[in-house]
Chains A and B, each alone.
Chain A
Amino acid sequence: MKILPPVSIEARRLLPSRWDLLAAVLVLGFIIAFADASRFLVRPLSSITGHALFLNVWDLPGYALRTGLRMLIAMGVSLAFTFSYATWAAKNPRAGSLLVPLLDILQSVPILGFLSVTVVWFLSLSPGRVLGAELACVFTIFTGQAWNMAFSFYQSLRTVPPELEEAGRMFGLSAWARFWRIEAPFATPPLIWNMMMSMSGGWFFVTVSEAISVGNTDIALPGIGSWIAVAIAQKNLPAIFEAILAMLVVILIYDQLLFRPLVAWADRFRIDNEQSEDQPESWALNVYRRSRLLDLMTKPFEQMMRWSYHWQPPSFGLRAATREVDSRVADILWYVLLGLLSLYAAFRIYGFAHDNLAWSDLGTAVGLGFLTLLRVMVLIAIASLIWTPVGVYVGLRPRLTQIVQPVAQFLAAFPNNLLFPLVVSLIVLWDLNPDIWLSPLIVLGTQWYILFNVIAGASTMPKELRDAAENFGVHGWLWWRKVALPAVFPYYVTGAITASGGAWNASVLAEVASWGKTTLHAHGLGAYISDATATGDFRRVVLGIAVMSFFVVVVNRILWRPLYWYAERKYRLT
């Protein structure tokens, strides 16, 4: 299966289109409107905080359960978002031209930095305060999970084989039936792969979003994330290990009960008719299949779906005639609406910048952005140097692959604050420079994407190619240069894109690290946002987020996207 990076790589062009700019303006305007609305809501918050969390081991399973549930709910919301947003973008060219760039900008927004704003906003929404905090937490996880799922689904919908689509039309299936019987099944295998990635990424977000302080307000939802936060504050090393253990258990449960069955089940939707070499298996799926209770429970739902396929929209047969006129009017309405929206957004942005920011603020943020950029690039480069050879070595050995692949996936789920104790202690002990030695935290979680993409690439290398290289005595550096590295290059690029995107997000959490009373700062945009959050300075939070999003988008455009297309064109094995 081809793995696509979680950013828009559809167009090969470098320069932003009008739609990109429009999307950027809309997102920025939205963020500002959001922040403005939340600014005045901070004060009443102080009354609901201060739930002390005690590190009692017997509470841990309960916490793990709550954290796991939050992830599951967020996954459900992400799925709903994927099915609606991506479908809309793929089916309606008019909407798609805006929705895709919008998604691209959205996935570049370092949502961890925006946490304070969302928390405050959601708290103000709900009269029961805990519910508000829960919503904010789920929302944060959702923003960590949804984008790449939507991208994957959108890309699949755009590549449904035309003959399948035509067959559906010939049999008179309605658009609704076609979606569920043809398009959704076709898009399922890559979607599930992306769900698994999202779930790994979600851990990072859940641990951060459960325990958050805005200004001098602390909120701690019962869960593994809060547990870790408290353990860090109290310098409680055993508690950190207990948290790691709890996470491991939850990840294992999800893997065995949810993802493995899904992967095994989705194997039937692969479009290539050849039997896969080793069919994925899952004991849980076998249990589900044989269970009568489950059968009984799903039957009404299945029945309902079946009936729904027979509905024909009332306009069936008439639509083709009216479409022509319809679309012209709709076009005008649509553009007018967009124009107004963007005008309003631009107005808000201008107002916000004019009232709150000086040019020097922007200068500071951009300067710090370059520092973080340097950090991200250097560390991605180092991680690539280490993990590419390791990935090739592992990928060429099927047995080793089976062991390493799940371990890497598990490590990718690890939020970097779990390493704070180690890193902070070492830096303090040896009196190191935090600007340099906090940096590794940036790629701690995301470097694994490079590893497992390279493994995937190496393991799909045809045996005959390897034989040919060996037969012609190609060894050593020549082998790496002409055989191994080119073969994994497209996979590496996909991994590096994912890793780099994640690294930016992680910088918010990596450039400021604390252990007990010790807090270390590195200079960078991540620390800038993090500090602004801690002091409740929304103006700098918004500025920092805007600048970081800008950096991410630009790096994607001028580095990763061209590299991706170069790799696709030249190195893809067909």
Chain B
Amino acid sequence: MAELLNVEHVRRTFPRGGGEELLVLDDVNLTLREGEVVGLLGRSGSGKSTLLRLIAGLSQPQGGNLSYMGTPIQGPVQGVAMVFQSFALFPWLTVLENVQLGLEALNLPPREMRERALAAIDLIGLDGYESAYPRELSGGMRQRVGFARAVVVHPNILLMDEPFSALDVLTAENLRTDLVELWGNGKLPIKGIILVTHNIEEAVLMCDRVLLFSSNPGRVASEIRIDLPQPRDRTSPAFEDYVDRIYVEMTARRVERMRQIQTQGTTSIAMPLVHVSPNQISGLVEALAAPPYNGKADLPDIAYEQELEVDELFPVAEAMQLLRLADVEGGDIKLTHMGKRFADGELNERKEIFSRSLMSNVPLAAHIRKVLDERASHNAPKTRFLDELEDHMAEDAAEEALKTVVSWARFAELFSYDDDAALFSLENPT
């Protein structure tokens, strides 16, 4: 099969204040062959969307090569069309005009333009909406316009950047199955599709191959081939096996890294913390403790039950692991002894447990508390800790770590923080 796209050793950094650079993509490889749907799956911040913009020629890599049908990509490519997460429709153009926009850029004669646009509108199921403005349409219909606009230029490659994530569950499913059907019937004038998503089931449902991305920096961690005939049945055991397998792969790596940090007995305050609110933690602990889980659950199951996306579930699970409220192993999550006590406790007891866990498991929290205890005034400016953190980590990671610790410490009543004055203190506001 012919190669549509070839991505080799691509590297992308973004400049940051102070001459630093943030590495977003590192040594990424990818090929797309004719007739394939390839999924890029990973958490936010893993650089999937950045990669998509590189493929579309909307930005340039710092290293590596991208080539489209054998020719290097140096700017926007004519045979590559994109569908956007937020639809990116022009509010002042009607449905027909939006769809025609890409054709106008091709300088086609008006009659052909109109015919092709109407055909695409027909194909995507937008008949009768030609003269409507985007604001008059529901989210699902808007994204259909997005699809029609991409399909009408007859691209070889269709890029989709989380195209269903701004839609409600039913609409998204409806659109997905329509798309899979059109693709399966060979009705789309497209040769290959790349789909960016953070929804595991969506990836298994639609893709022939799924590339799992790790984050910070974004890398292709592994590749899973989905050998299931279309249309796929979400409830079939084979489908669920694939979903489970991806969950295990995605959690295993992260948890392994965290466990490493923990077993090294590190006292470094510069541990990256992802912001998760104490409420989310409490919520998941309670759900885990209650039947039918009774303290232990399959990650995909609880994600489905709690209506959590991968992006939302993993950080909470990791925070619970960090605070030793739960153990994450394979695709499972299990409450620890402390986690069970937390689940059974009243609010004050929970705060107590949280506070002790912070002191022993989160070096940054313990450090701030210690500094505040030692100072006569019992307060310290934020910059004191920010500067200290920035010696070891990037500026935004430091900001996020501090923000997380503040939110946890407020819940645990370990110390307080006044945002106006940017001041940590031991006093509770009167």
Contact = CB atoms under 8 A, between A and B. Distances in A.
B58 interface: yes
Given A482-B93, A486-B90, A464 B153 contact: no
Interface in B17-60: 53, 56, 58
Contact of B105 (A473, A571, A573): A473
A303 interface: no
Contacts of A573: 91
A298 to B, nearest CB: 14
A574 B139 CA distance: 13
A478 B86 CA distance: 23
Given A471-B56, A471-B81, A472-B105, A482 B90 contact: yes
A574 B135 contact: yes
Q: Which of B53, B58, B81, B88 has the most CB of A within 10 A?
A: B88
Given A289-B420, A472-B101, A574-B135, 18 more contacts: A467-B53, A467-B82, A467-B84, A469-B101, A471-B76, A471-B81, A471-B82, A472-B149, A473-B102, A473-B105, A473-B106, A478-B105, A482-B90, A482-B93, A486-B90, A486-B92, A570-B92, A570-B133
Contacts of B78: 473
Contact of B76 (A473, A483, A574): A473
Contacts of A473: 76, 78, 102, 105-106
A464 B88 contact: yes
B421 interface: yes
Q: Which of A471, A472, A489, A573 has the most CB of B within 10 A?
A: A471
| Chain A to chain B: the 3 pairs with minimum beta-carbon distance, closest first | A472-B102, A468-B88, A464-B88
Interface in B73-123: 76, 78, 80-82, 84-86, 88, 90-93, 97, 101-102, 104-106
Q: Which of B53, B88, B92, B102 has the most CB of A within 10 A?
A: B92
A486 B90 CA distance: 9
Contacts of A478: 104-105
B339 to A, nearest CB: 31
A486 to B, nearest CB: 4
A572 interface: yes
Contacts of A571: 91-92
A571 B135 CA distance: 11
A471 B90 contact: no
A480 to B, nearest CB: 13
A325 to B, nearest CB: 46
A465 interface: yes
A299 interface: no
Nearest to A479: B105
25 contacts: A462-B86, A464-B84, A464-B86, A465-B88, A467-B53, A467-B56, A467-B84, A467-B88, A468-B82, A468-B84, A468-B90, A468-B149, A469-B101, A471-B80, A471-B82, A472-B102, A472-B105, A473-B78, A473-B105, A474-B105, A475-B105, A486-B90, A570-B133, A571-B91, A574-B91
B91 A474 contact: no
Q: Which of A289, A472, A486 has the most CB of B within 10 A?
A: A472
Tell me the dominant secondary structure on chain A's binding face.
helix
Interface residues of B, number: 28
A474 B101 CA distance: 8
B395 to A, nearest CB: 14
Q: Which of A467, A473, A570 has the most CB of B within 10 A?
A: A473
A467 B101 contact: no
B84 to A, nearest CB: 5
A59 interface: no
A289 to B, nearest CB: 6
Nearest to A490: B92
A467 B58 contact: yes
Contacts of A289: 420-421
Contacts of A328: none
A289 B106 CA distance: 58
B153 A472 contact: yes
Tell me the dominant secondary structure on chain B's binding face.
loop
Interface of A: 289-290, 462, 464-465, 467-475, 478, 482-483, 486, 489, 570-574
A290 B422 CA distance: 11
Nearest to B421: A289
A478 B90 CA distance: 13
Given A468-B82, A471-B56, A471-B58, A482 B101 contact: yes
Contacts of A471: 56, 58, 76, 80-82
Contacts of B84: 464, 467-468
Nearest to A473: B105
A573 B105 CA distance: 23
Nearest to B106: A473
A289 B135 CA distance: 44
Interface string B317-348: 00000000000000000000000000000000
Contacts of B88: 462, 464-465, 467-468
B421 A290 contact: yes
Contacts of A468: 82, 84, 88, 90, 149
A483 B90 contact: yes
Contacts of A475: 105
A475 B102 CA distance: 10
B85 to A, nearest CB: 7
Contacts of A469: 101
Nearest to B91: A573
Contacts of B90: 465, 468, 482-483, 486
A268 B200 CA distance: 38
Contacts of A486: 90, 92
B91 A470 contact: no
Contacts of A467: 53, 56, 58, 82, 84, 88
A573 B133 CA distance: 12
A486 B81 CA distance: 23
A464 B143 CA distance: 14
B88 to A, nearest CB: 4
A474 B90 CA distance: 13
Contacts of A462: 86, 88
Contacts of A464: 84-86, 88
Nearest to A463: B88
A398 to B, nearest CB: 13
Interface string B141-164: 000000001000100000000000
Q: Which of A468, A470, A489 has the most CB of B within 10 A?
A: A468
A569 B135 CA distance: 10
A289 B423 CA distance: 12
